[in-house]
Structure 1
Amino acid sequence: MDNKHSMISLKEKLAELLEIIPKQSHIVYADYPLYGNVGDLFIMKGTESFFKEHGIRVKNRWNPDNFPFGRKLSKDTIIVCQGGGNFGDLYPYYQNFREKVVQAYPHNRIVILPQSIYYQNEENLKQTADIFSGHPDLYIVTREKASYQIAGNAFKRNHIRLLPDMAHQLFPILPTRASSSRKLRFIRTDHEANEDLQKHMHTKSYDWNTVLSTGDRRMIACFQTLNVLNKKAGNLLPMAYMWEKYSAYIVRKAIRFFSAYESVETSRLHGHILSSLLEKENTVIDNSYGKNANYYHTWMEGLPYARILQESARKKENLPAHL
């Protein structure tokens, strides 16, 4: 196998971020995820691990619900936005937040960590490009070739990079329980589900909402409510610290859940990435707009324990809208 496609080299490649977020730099982590998408929590944990390993000093951690717009930042402070798959118009709340940050801090470097880009409406993409073009020091890091192409076409005045998902920083992850011979079918059930590829599956499957217990979901809702109330009170409570502790429990729970299976079939990108971090055999099923296939063909093709469903491979040209 070509070393450029090994899990070790994917983690090492993330060190290229130091060219734009230097060691010992001071940053604000602008939009950590405070919700129950466990894949995004793996991204957050990988991001925090990267900061720690490279001596990057996090001055503040905020999320979109409590970010203090209007607070002045020193010009040497870098604003870092969470990576993931919510860049575009499928998740307007988070995209609107990033655009507002870009407009509010024209004198600070802003780095958007590795993202997949998808717009259903080209006018929305043009609107984002108009906003982003006004910032002279904005870095958009994409996490697969299709998004890199879109960003290169749409955001010509910004700096564009291509790097793997931040969860690769967590490699290796050791299983925390013995595995059986069972196969885990981990299939998304939201609006990104690819019904054509999943329709053949009549066996029992799981998703993040079934990994989380009712108590977990209630606790997450309590965190979200407390977070809003805390902002109204002046952000007196250390919400980021409290969430770091609870989200670490959720991530450990997900690792333990996946550890129990010998192999995985999944339409969740982070079902695929987590399985690969555990070095478990896994089969990738594409999502509704090509994100999983694009990621697989950019970084994961050639891994001895990962493959893609053939129907997904034939759909790899299912790319997002572009200018």
Structure 2
Amino acid sequence: MNTPQYSNLGDHAIAKAEIKFFHDYYQNVPVIELPGEILRKYFKYFKYFIKKKDFIFITGGGYLGNLWIREEMLVRNIIENYPNNNIFILPQTVYFTNDEKGINEKSKTISIYNNHKHLNVFLRDKRSYDFFEKYLKNIKSYYVPDIVLYLNESTACKVRNGILFCLRKDLEKTFNCKEVIKYFNDKHEILSYTDTVINETVSIKDRDIVLEKKFNEFRLAKMVITDRLHGMIFAAITGTPCIAFDNISKKVSGVYKWIESLEYIKVVNSFEEFVEAYNYINNLNNEYFNYSFDISMFQKIHHIIDEI
């Protein structure tokens, strides 16, 4: 439930990885994908088709909390309307602002989630996992990687060229890129710009084609500079050197803990740290990095589903 039919390719990559995971581990089990917009439009009708024995999976991402309240409210709606189903929230980040609105919404989330007797939540960063362990003691929570790390898109590619910037423009943005752009201009580097959110609606049918085009942008770059979580992850899974700056919810540094052994990916918090990371990666002298991530970490999700 709640998979994308919109322009955020990070969310589409999450859905792609989730579907691949289900097909790898549960080849003979039918998987029905209900995009968020379809779910909202026909929500009251699905109760006639979804049986008590069906497992409900809510797609992963970074939208639990009050930053993206429309998505949080849909999750609450699912939890409240399917009290007898086993529900799994796939790897997520949770973030509430430290103001009156955030405190009020946090209270509602805690009450609704804690009320469900068969809710399992997977968290992709330690801060989110600690939040659930502290406030949501009635439900089962698990610490696992971002599901996009299940994909391996690294291939030997043509010669890499230029610096690719992949930067946020929304309310999670904290990074001012002017100093970094000047740094590369002084080195006479070719700069180009992309985003994991594009200017077109992407359907389920077109998901793989559009994602492959975006992955190829990353494969052809000499280095990626990003403050998007999935900008960093797309770099990781395509074997592309990357320096990432954190965002407001700290999900970039939180998920980085899973891939900090990848020498070609660094997360920084200042311009000085950026320069140090650039010099380190630049000295690796390697145009092609093979993405090597222990996907057995995802067996934890498989084992939990199997136990239930």
TM bracket, shorter-chain basis: 0.7 to 0.9
1:252 deviates by 1.0
Secondary structure in 2 matching 1:161: strand
Whether the 8 Å contact between 2:222 and 2:240 is mirrored in structure 1 is yes
1:82 deviates by 0.5
1:69 aligns with: 44
Give the total of aligned pairs. 255
Render the CA deviation track for 1:145-180: whole Å, top value 9, x for unaligned.
0100011112111110111111111124326x5242
The residue type equivalent to 1:31 in the other structure is N
Return structure 1 stretches of 4+ with deviation > 6 angstroms: none
Whether the 8 Å contact between 2:4 and 2:15 is mirrored in structure 1 is yes
The residue type equivalent to 2:207 in the other structure is S
Report which structure shows greater RCO (CA 8 Å, sep ≥6).
1
> Could you say if the C-alpha distance between residues 207 and 88 of structure 1 is closer, same or farther in structure 2, counting changes exceeding 3 Å?
farther
The residue type equivalent to 2:221 in the other structure is Y
1:311 aligns with: 270
Render the CA deviation track for 1:37-57: whole Å, top value 9, x for unaligned.
111111111011101111252
Secondary structure in 2 matching 1:113: strand
Render the CA deviation track for 1:177-197: whole Å, top value 9, x for unaligned.
5242312121112111114x5
Whether the 8 Å contact between 2:123 and 2:141 is mirrored in structure 1 is yes
1:301 pairs, out of 250, 260, 264, with 260
Q: What is the CA–CA distance in structure 2 between the aligned matches of 1:202 and 1:126, rounded to whole Å?
A: 42
> Could you say if the C-alpha distance between residues 158 and 39 of structure 1 is closer, same or farther in structure 2, counting changes exceeding 3 Å?
same
Matching of residue 198 in structure 1 with residue 177 in structure 2: yes
1:49 aligns with: 20
Whether the 8 Å contact between 1:116 and 1:144 is mirrored in structure 2 is yes
Identical aligned residues as a percent: 25
2:76 pairs, out of 96, 99, 104, with 99
Matching of residue 186 in structure 1 with residue 186 in structure 2: no
Whether the 8 Å contact between 1:188 and 1:207 is mirrored in structure 2 is no
TM-score by length of 1: 0.73
Q: What is the CA–CA distance in structure 2 between the aligned matches of 1:271 and 1:152, rounded to whole Å?
A: 29
The residue type equivalent to 2:117 in the other structure is P
Structure 1 residue runs without a partner (length 5+):
1-29, 224-242, 315-323
1:118 deviates by 0.5
> Could you say if the C-alpha distance between residues 268 and 192 of structure 1 is closer, same or farther in structure 2, counting changes exceeding 3 Å?
same
Matching of residue 159 in structure 1 with residue 165 in structure 2: no
The within-5 A match list for 1:156-305 is: 156-174=137-155, 177-195=157-175, 197-202=176-181, 206-208=193-195, 212=198, 217=200, 220=201, 243-296=203-256, 298-305=257-264
Secondary structure in 1 matching 2:94: strand
2:299 aligns with: none
1:313 deviates by 11
Q: What is the CA–CA distance in structure 2 between the aligned matches of 1:294 and 1:248, rounded to whole Å?
A: 27
2:124 aligns with: 143
1:69 deviates by 2.8
Structure 2 residue runs without a partner (length 5+):
183-190, 274-308
1:234 aligns with: none
Whether the 8 Å contact between 1:78 and 1:109 is mirrored in structure 2 is yes
Matching of residue 60 in structure 1 with residue 32 in structure 2: yes
Whether the 8 Å contact between 1:293 and 1:313 is mirrored in structure 2 is no
Whether the 8 Å contact between 1:138 and 1:159 is mirrored in structure 2 is yes
1:103 deviates by 0.4
2:297 aligns with: none
